[in-house]
Structure 1
Amino acid sequence: MIRNLYSFLNQNFEGLILTPPLFYSWNNSIRFEISNPIKPHYSKENLQQTFQRSITLFKKVFNERDEILLVTDVLTTRNNHFLQRKPLNVYKKYLKDKNLLYKLHHQLLGRFFEDEADEMVIHRFLLQCKKNTIRYVPLLKAICYEDYAHSSTILKSNQESGYEIYFVNLNKKIIFHLYDDRGCDILAADKEDIRYLYEEFNDWILDYDRKRIDHLFE
């Protein structure tokens, strides 16, 4: 499974490393604004927009037949044994079929920062699945809630760690990354495969990056 991910990236996204910000690492990409920056993030109206946009984009990118790689990276210190005591609940909580947990793959990646006293590592979890096997609506909402004190927070018992979740569409060669409630990066091997998103949701594009995105689809 690990080899499948890297083979897919090498063939379709040469040189891309799965780490944020993905939008600035790949030319064929769109950055969508998810929440309204001029309104309180936790307001009911803003949460409704956040959920509606993230879920709508996900449904547009993935259909029921697509093979999906659900990739979760947890960044933490090497001496943090939280994941050994309590396996990551992204898969336990948001999979409809718990038998799929037996197909979950794990990889430990080293990562170093000059200004960090402790060595940092990334626990990478991968699972190949389909849209109808994921409870994607509550999962997307949990990602949007991550900066709030909310019961659905994914790492609420391990606040010293950070995480990123990537949805990789193996059929359409598209990567979907809702990085938090602020925005969502969508990358494609071929820009024409996401032109429909650019046209249909043009008013959702983040204005800060609009010039670059418009130029891509000229």
Structure 2
Amino acid sequence: MNIHNYLHEHFPGLTLQPPLFYSWPTGLRFEIAKPGSEHLDTDNLEQMGERTTSLFKAVFEKDDNVILVTNVFGLNDSPPPKTNVFLKYIKDKDVRMKLQYERIDDLIEEEDETVTHRFSLQCKAGDIRYQPLLMAICHEDFKHPTRILKNRWNIGIDIYIVNITRHLIYHLYDDRGCDIISAEKDILLPLYHSASPWILEYDREQIDEVFLKEETV
């Protein structure tokens, strides 16, 4: 399924760019890393691993159909970059053969002319080596061996995992937090309750208004 057609049908008007939570009325925003901790502190790494993995497992089953979307953005004259995301984190080479590419010239609005290189792959959730992928995203702002863009600091990357079976989108934007949005509130209601302690306090009031509105009537 084409990512544009899917979004048009189930998330009309939504553009895959951060901040996803503020771009859609039904979503959750979770705190991932420990505030004020050194990035490589053992406790911090354990919390990042636990929360990213637990949230993923809460909204994906192995047989769910998903679209893994990678947006890589940089200057307009930059060629399509090699990120190795799909080579490294998709298990089956036959699945990787379905990878699609497109160039989007107007996704980022800045003074400098920029371009977004979008790679998308439809697969099963179980095809993704999601645990190391999620930790690599957490390390992306730091000099770490698993950094997806290696030493290329002049470009950026966003990775979205779109669950086309359950109609939700998982976006771990960096080590600080994770946005999960859904087409319908009921899809995320169980996660709202089970992972409530992890909700980012700054956005808790807005989230409570959405998910508690009908329960308190």
- TM-score (normalizing by structure 2): 0.93
SS for the counterpart of 1:156 is coil
1:172-191 alignment, distance < 5 Å: 172-191=166-185
1:66 — aligned with what? 64
Which of 88, 93, 96 in structure 1 is aligned with 2:91?
Answer: 96
1:115 aligns with 2:111: yes
2:211 — aligned with what? 217
Offset, 1:147:
1.3
SS for the counterpart of 1:159 is coil
1:156-211 alpha-carbon deviations (Å, 9 max, x no partner): 14221100000000010000000001000000000110001100000000000000
| Distance in 1 between residues matched to 2:165 and 2:207, nearest whole Å | 24
SS for the counterpart of 1:195 is helix
1:139-162 alpha-carbon deviations (Å, 9 max, x no partner): 001001111111100001422110
Contact 1:82/1:158 (CA < 8 Å) preserved in 2? no
Contact 1:69/1:170 (CA < 8 Å) preserved in 2? yes
SS for the counterpart of 1:103 is coil
Which of 100, 116, 123 in structure 2 is aligned with 1:105?
Answer: 100
| Distance in 2 between residues matched to 1:19 and 1:115, nearest whole Å | 18
Counting aligned pairs with the same residue, the percent is 46
1:1-218 alignment, distance < 5 Å: 1=1, 4-81=2-79, 83=81, 87-111=82-106, 113-116=109-112, 119-218=113-212
| Distance in 2 between residues matched to 1:51 and 1:191, nearest whole Å | 26
- TM-score (normalizing by structure 1): 0.93
Number of aligned positions between the proteins = 211
SS for the counterpart of 1:14 is coil
1:50-94 alpha-carbon deviations (Å, 9 max, x no partner): 1110011001110011001000000011222362xxx32000111
| Distance in 2 between residues matched to 1:10 and 1:113, nearest whole Å | 21
What RMSD over aligned residues (CA atoms) do the two structures have, in Å?
A: 1.3
Gaps of 5+ in 1: none
Contact 2:80/2:117 (CA < 8 Å) preserved in 1? no
Contact 1:68/1:167 (CA < 8 Å) preserved in 2? yes
User: Which structure shows the higher helix fraction?
Assistant: 1
Structure 1 pair 114/214, CA: closer, same or farther in 2 (3 Å)?
closer
Offset, 1:133:
1.2
| Distance in 1 between residues matched to 2:151 and 2:201, nearest whole Å | 35
| Distance in 1 between residues matched to 2:110 and 2:10, nearest whole Å | 32
